[in-house]
Amino acid sequence: MNIWRVAADLARTSGAGALATVARTAGSTPVPAGTKMLVSEGGRLLGTVGGGCVEADVLRAAGEAQTRRRPALVTHHLNADLAGDLGLSCGGTVEIFVEPLVADPEYVAALEAAAAADAGVVTTATAWDVAAGPFKTFEPLPPGAEPGVPAALSADRRFVVERFALAPRVLVFGAGHVGAAIARAAAAAGFRVVVVDDRSEYADPGRFGGEMTVLAGGVEDALTRFPLTARDAVVVATRGHRHDALIVERVAPSPAGYVGLLGSRRKQAVLTKALTAAGVPAESLARIRVPVGLAIGAETPEEIAVSVAAELIEWRRAGTGRVGRSRAG
């Protein structure tokens, strides 16, 4: 779920709530800089900034920020003993900026711009003059620029600068039992998910959460609407060899950073032979992950979905290269 969009909607409709952002960390902490939690008037609404006493302090600060209509910077120290008592594996310092949501048009517009952005920079003041109002800007990153550090405090500790990019996108071809389970697991792991199936009864948005895009169509429809880049992953889990072959033929040579195929080594051999004869380059076919997913002995659709989501997370975190093993070992 896009926390920026939910914050913008909440600010626009009621202005009641607060947005907490981990602005700086030192040592071992529960969550990294840039992590956010949205707090409604009655308590937590979306996200977490670490749980335990950290979150309790932030919830108190959120209540005060809403009442006073002024933001705050919460500093929390977690030494090893305290962390152990709380069941948290951390022993560092975390600073969290807590801002009250306001119905100011420019403030809401900055939240909406961040929600809709492919990448960008959001600068947020840690304090503002009551008469002048809040200060939040959104500036797109230059083309090709790297997001860099997710969040940082300015030298004078008056600003939080966030640099972010959208989560990688996963195109799941096939909305049957396994494909649907993979789509849900990938979405739960924080990926943007597009589900594609040429059967309208399967490509039914009602079967999936509102955060997922569902397309009733074939591979050409999908690639026209969603051109693949190195930050995209493709999982092929259709209902048969013929459908798989049509999709793999198109996506294997693409720039997609990850291409996985549901099936056995035998299926891989059959498709490789057919697609080689069709002119698909050997290096393109060699990079396909078959069977898709990490080797955890998965059998049910839900177990397979967990193994695929785990491999997608590994790909997202590692960038390039494959650290783990496929489900076939």
Return the sign of the alpha-carbon dihedral for residues 141, 146, 151, 153.
negative
- Record the tokens describing residue 104, joined without a space: 């100011």
Instruction: From residue 328, give the alpha-carbon distance in Å to each of 102, 288, 303, 305.
Output: 53, 14, 14, 15
Give the pLDDT confidence score for residue 132 in this predicted structure.
62
Q: Which pLDDT score, from 0 to 100, does residue 38 have?
A: 94
Map tokens 């059998």 to a residue.
Answer: 299
**pLDDT at site 57:** 87
Question: Of residues 186 and 329, which shows the higher confidence score?
Answer: 186
* Total H helices, total E strands in the chain: 10, 14
pLDDT at 149: 76
* Least confident interval from 43-57, 136-150, 160-174: 136-150
Tokens at 159, concatenated = 């600003």
Residue-averaged pLDDT of the chain: 84
Q: What is the pLDDT of residue 131?
A: 60
pLDDT at 102 over 70: yes
Mean per-residue pLDDT for 214-222?
Answer: 96
Q: Read off the pLDDT band of 91 (50, 70, 90).
A: low
Distance CA 86, CA 69 (A): 31
CA 174 distance to own-chain centroid: 21
User: Listing from the earlier edge strand, what are the strands of the sheet with 159-165?
Assistant: 136-139, 119-125, 159-165, 151-153
Question: Quick check: 18 pLDDT over 90?
Answer: yes
pLDDT of residue 321: 38
* More confident: 220 or 82: 220
Q: Which token pair is 267? A: 């299926």
**How much of the chain exceeds pLDDT 70, in percent?**
87
pLDDT at position 181 is 97
142 pLDDT exceeds 80?
A: no
Q: What is the pLDDT of residue 70?
A: 84
**pLDDT confidence band for 319 (50 / 70 / 90):** low
What residue type is 208 in one-letter code? F
Q: Does the pLDDT of residue 265 top 50, yes or no?
A: yes
Domains along the chain with CATH numbers:
3-165 (no CATH), 169-318 (3.40.50.720)
Gyration radius from the chain CA atoms: 22
Of the listed ranges 11-25, 123-137, 289-303, the one predicted with least confidence: 123-137
- Euclidean distance between the first and final Cα of the chain, in Å? 33
Q: What is the pLDDT of residue 76?
A: 82
pLDDT of residue 200: 94
3-state secondary structure of 194: strand
Determine the Cα angle at 193 with ends 191 and 194, to 5°: 160
Confidence check: pLDDT of 146 > 80: no
Residue 71 near residue 127 (C-beta atoms within 8 A): yes
Distance CA 57, CA 194 (A): 38
Give the model's confidence band at 77: pLDDT under 50 very low, under 70 low, under 90 confident, else very high.
confident
